[in-house]
């Protein structure tokens, strides 16, 4: 009977270790999602700031919008689980120019930007 107890204990420890590993993976994924969301909001803030700035160049606005789109793509990929956590770190340098207080306008900006891109593709 001592062997059964050892096997049972070993199996239970194995299951517990698997649980801990899955929990650590979930926590890592949650942190990556939160980081990607912050980067997306920061990039949206930069876009809003440049849209309100009459001295902002078209090139600066285009770069900010591209950084925002990359941040949104990274966030969505992490949120849906279609990308590894390491991809969320890539846009961090692009969107880290200015922190945003409120990212509520970000989806509207993306929606406005997408039809323009579709129209440009149709013209080509």
Per-residue pLDDT for the chain (124 aa), expressed as one digit of tens each? 445 679 999 999 999 999 999 999 999 999 999 999 999 999 999 999 999 998 989 999 999 999 999 999 999 999 888 755 444 444 444 444 444 434 444 444 444 444 444 344 444 3
Tokens representing residue 123 in the block = 């013209």
Q: What's the pLDDT at 23?
A: 98
Q: What's the pLDDT at 122?
A: 42
Cα-based distances in Å from 43 to 46, 48, 51, 89, 114: 5, 9, 12, 14, 16
Cβ pair 67, 46 in contact under 8 A: yes
Q: What's the pLDDT at 5?
A: 73
Phi, psi of 53 (to 5 degrees): -95, 110
Cβ pair 90, 66 in contact under 8 A: no
Cα(79)–Cα(83) distance, integer angstroms: 9
Q: What's the pLDDT at 60?
A: 92
Q: What's the pLDDT at 83?
A: 57
- Break the chain into its structural domains and give their ranges: 7-117
Alpha helices in 1-124 (DSSP H): 2-52, 58-80, 106-123
The reported pTM is: 0.56
């Amino acid at each position: 009977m001592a062997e059964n107890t050892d096997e049972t204990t070993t199996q239970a420890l194995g299951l517990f270790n698997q649980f801990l590993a899955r929990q650590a993976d979930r926590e890592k994924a949650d942190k990556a999602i939160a980081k990607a969301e912050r980067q997306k909001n920061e990039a949206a803030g930069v876009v809003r700031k440049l849209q309100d700035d009459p001295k902002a160049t078209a090139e600066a606005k285009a770069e900010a919008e591209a950084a925002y789109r990359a941040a949104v793509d990274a966030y969505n990929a992490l949120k849906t689980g279609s990308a590894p956590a390491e991809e969320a770190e890539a846009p961090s340098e692009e969107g880290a120019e200015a922190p945003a207080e409120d990212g509520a306008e970000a989806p509207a900006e993306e929606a406005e930007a997408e039809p323009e891109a579709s129209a440009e593709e149709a013209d080509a």
